[in-house]
Structure 1
């Protein structure tokens, strides 16, 4: 709704022949938009960090598009840290399954 209490006008390309608002076709996500599969339970820290980087990037985009600028900033900082951790050499991780 607008400040005057009316709905904003609908663009002509979003209406059908009778002038009714049509539901946009659901588009398929591109491969870049698909969330990757989570890493296995005993994945290397760099794999986990890479996965976190992708997820946080998606959350940052959502925060930015909702004008949550401070949240988008902190999510970008988390994404950058995850990217740094993903590039670190893999080291031996103790088995914590016991």
Structure 2
């Protein structure tokens, strides 16, 4: 949810917060995931099922993960084999008509 209150849990377009996240996700339920190799469904922790990636963040030339409730840059600027360039992150959510970005 974007344009939240300070908790990140409730939509609020009247305050100064566009997005808030404590990166803990402790209130999220486990999710069912499908393993194409084994053909079986299992349950995983919400954050683990996302590869420890935070919500609403799209990375280029690097990667952010959540570790112990904090953001951690997994790859620094020396890891640029994809396209070259400095690490960059876009905060937003994918919408049906493209990426809705926070400015």
TM range (shorter): under 0.3
With the length of structure 2 as denominator, give the TM-score of the two structures: 0.23
Q: Which has the higher contact order (CA 8 A, sep 6+)?
A: 1
Give the TM-score of the pair, scaled to structure 1.
0.24
Structure with bigger gyration radius = 1
Greater helix proportion: 1
